[in-house]
């Protein structure tokens, strides 16, 4: 009798725990280095909302903003190890995986406009760039925008010669390094979250970033001047750990692919508005004087930065650069 009760109890416990396991959601940790109100932060939260809705909570997405889980420089190794399932690092940061080609997005003025950028990212070039991540154990899912960059410093910058002698923070990309050296500046690699402190301590004099990053990191509070050069693009690759992604049940993966498509549409719509709003707020804060450039002045910046295109070809491959130039040439302004 005692044995019968024991085995009934064990059976019940087994059934209960199997039922509980069957209902355990698949957890996706999604880490990023920005604030929740940045374009990337908002898109990550949107992805979480849609992924959980579409899968009817069979997937739970935990978003970790502000680099609280992994900092710049740690993220990509963490996703390879499977310590985090999703990320959206800036395209300037993929060379740590041995993939230099993503730095093509750093070439100054390579995209004449947004339409040209999208043509590249959504076409065969974009797809083949994302596929380059596969052998590294990383699944490339989509491109997310931030925006075009402006320059800032504590002395007025109008023309390219005003950069001479400035120590400027860059992300760890050799194309960005060449860009600052071409202008006569000294590039310094720092994590974005360390930039306000480095500016205050005088380790660096200036920065480049889209206005939304400048604003969300409060950089405008410690920079008196900015110039709307729009000289380069900053965007992200939305990525997942490949082993994790490939092992998902097929229906869940299809649901998540839908959430990715929706979040990508959301990201690439809000980013541009967020940047123009951020620039207006920076300007109205009265802390940073923002210079807007005429087309003749913009042309001066373009000319000054032309040599970067040449040196970048050696870094990312001239075939890729030529293909982009050919594809974007047909895109009108
Ligand atoms: C930066 O380091 O400036 C950016 O990559 C940060 C980000 O994620 O936008």
Contacts of 319 (CB under 8 A, 6+ apart): none
Q: Please give the pLDDT value at position 329.
A: 85
Q: Strand, coil or helix: what is 91?
A: helix
**CA 6 to chain centroid:** 56
**Rounded distance between C-alpha atoms, residue 329 and residue 124, angstroms:** 16
Pocket lined around ligand 1, Cβ cut-off 6 Å:
33-34, 40, 72, 90, 146, 171, 192, 209, 213
Q: Which atom of ligand 1 is nearest to the CA of 171?
A: 2
**Closest-CA residue to 186 (of 209, 171, 169, 162):** 169
pLDDT tens across 88-104, in order? 999 999 999 999 999 99
Contacts of 252 (CB under 8 A, 6+ apart): 26, 55, 58, 59
pLDDT tens across 258-315, in order? 999 999 999 999 999 999 999 999 999 999 999 999 999 999 999 999 999 999 999 9
**Atom 7 (ligand 1): residue with closest C-alpha?**
90
**Rounded distance between C-alpha atoms, residue 299 and residue 291, angstroms:** 15
**Closest-CA residue to 279 (of 159, 148, 162, 155):** 148
Spacing, Cα 143 to ligand 1 middle (Å): 14
pLDDT at residue 172 above 70?
A: yes
Spacing, Cα 89 to ligand 1 middle (Å): 7
Q: Which atom of ligand 1 is nearest to the CA of 169?
A: 3
Query: 144 — alpha (psi -120 to 50), left (phi > 0) or beta?
Result: beta
Spacing, Cα 83 to ligand 1 middle (Å): 21
Spacing, Cα 49 to ligand 1 middle (Å): 23
**Atom 1 (ligand 1): residue with closest C-alpha?**
192
pLDDT tens across 105-135, in order? 999 999 999 999 999 999 999 999 999 999 9
pLDDT at residue 164 above 60?
A: yes
Spacing, Cα 150 to ligand 1 middle (Å): 13
Let me know: does 232 contact 106? Beta carbons within 8 Å. Answer: yes
Strand partners, 147: 234
Q: Which atom of ligand 1 is nearest to the CA of 89?
A: 8
- Cα angle: 224, vertex 278, 205; to 5 degrees: 30
Q: Please give the pLDDT value at position 14.
A: 44
pLDDT at residue 66 above 90?
A: yes
Any idea of the CA torsion for 280, 281, 283, 285, to the nearest 10 degrees?
Answer: 160
Per the document, the length of the chain is: 333
Strand partners, 206: 168
Ligand 1 pocket mutation pick from 33, 68, 191 by most atoms within 8 angstroms of CB: 33
**Rounded distance between C-alpha atoms, residue 43 and residue 87, angstroms:** 12
Q: Please give the pLDDT value at position 15.
A: 42
Q: Please give the pLDDT value at position 332.
A: 52
Let me know: does 271 contact 39? Beta carbons within 8 Å. Answer: yes
**Closest-CA residue to 203 (of 159, 165, 168):** 168
Spacing, Cα 90 to ligand 1 middle (Å): 6
Mean pLDDT of the chain: 93
Instruction: Band the pLDDT of 30: cuts 50, 70, 90.
Output: very high
**Atom 2 (ligand 1): residue with closest C-alpha?**
192
**Rounded distance between C-alpha atoms, residue 306 and residue 283, angstroms:** 29
pLDDT at residue 16 above 60?
A: no
Any idea of the CA torsion for 72, 310, 234, 226, to the nearest 10 degrees?
Answer: 100
Instruction: Band the pLDDT of 230: cuts 50, 70, 90.
Output: very high
**Atom 5 (ligand 1): residue with closest C-alpha?**
90
Spacing, Cα 31 to ligand 1 middle (Å): 13
**Closest-CA residue to 111 (of 142, 140, 147):** 147
Q: Please give the pLDDT value at position 138.
A: 98
Q: Please give the pLDDT value at position 18.
A: 47
**Atom 6 (ligand 1): residue with closest C-alpha?**
192
Ligand 1 pocket mutation pick from 143, 175, 209 by most atoms within 8 angstroms of CB: 209
To which residue do tokens 């999208």 refer?
A: 118
Q: Please give the pLDDT value at position 3.
A: 52
Count of alpha carbons within 13 angstroms of residue 310, beta-carbon side: 6
- Give the pairing of strands 150-153 and 225-227: antiparallel
Spacing, Cα 76 to ligand 1 middle (Å): 14
**Rounded distance between C-alpha atoms, residue 46 and residue 25, angstroms:** 18
**Atom 9 (ligand 1): residue with closest C-alpha?**
90
Spacing, Cα 88 to ligand 1 middle (Å): 10
Count of alpha carbons within 13 angstroms of residue 121, beta-carbon side: 25
Lookup: tokens for 9: 């109890």
**Closest-CA residue to 108 (of 188, 177, 189):** 177
């Amino acid at each position: 009798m005692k044995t019968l009760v024991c085995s009934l109890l064990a059976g019940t416990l087994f059934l209960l725990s199997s039922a509980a396991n069957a209902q355990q959601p698949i957890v996706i940790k999604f880490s990023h280095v920005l604030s929740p109100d940045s374009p990337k932060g908002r898109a990550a939260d949107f992805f979480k909302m849609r992924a959980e809705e579409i899968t009817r909570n069979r997937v739970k997405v935990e978003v970790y903003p502000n680099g609280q889980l992994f900092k710049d420089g740690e993220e990509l190794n963490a996703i390879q190890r499977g310590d985090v399932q999703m990320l959206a690092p800036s395209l300037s940061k993929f060379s740590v995986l041995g993939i230099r080609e993503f730095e093509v997005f750093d070439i100054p003025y390579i995209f004449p406009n947004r339409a040209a950028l999208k043509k590249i990212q959504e076409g065969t070039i974009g797809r083949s760039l994302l596929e380059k991540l596969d052998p590294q154990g990383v699944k490339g899912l989509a491109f997310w925008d931030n925006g075009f960059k402006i320059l800032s410093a504590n002395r007025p910058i109008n023309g390219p010669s005003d950069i001479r002698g400035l120590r400027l923070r860059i992300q760890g990309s050799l194309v960005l390094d060449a860009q600052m050296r071409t202008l006569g500046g000294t590039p310094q690699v720092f994590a974005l979250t360390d930039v306000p402190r480095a500016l205050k301590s005088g380790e660096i004099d200036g920065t480049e970033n889209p206005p939304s990053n400048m604003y969300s990191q409060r950089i405008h509070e410690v920079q008196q001047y900015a110039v709307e050069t729009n000289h380069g693009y900053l965007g992200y690759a939305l990525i997942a750990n490949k082993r994790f992604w490939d092992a998902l049940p097929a229906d869940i993966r299809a649901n998540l692919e839908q959430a990715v498509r929706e979040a990508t549409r959301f990201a690439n719509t809000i980013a541009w508005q967020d940047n123009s709003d951020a620039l207006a707020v920076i300007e109205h804060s009265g802390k940073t004087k923002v210079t807007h450039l005429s087309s003749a002045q913009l042309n001066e910046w373009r000319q000054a930065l032309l040599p970067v295109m040449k040196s970048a070809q050696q870094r990312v491959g001239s075939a890729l650069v030529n293909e982009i130039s050919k594809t974007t040439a047909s895109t009108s302004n």
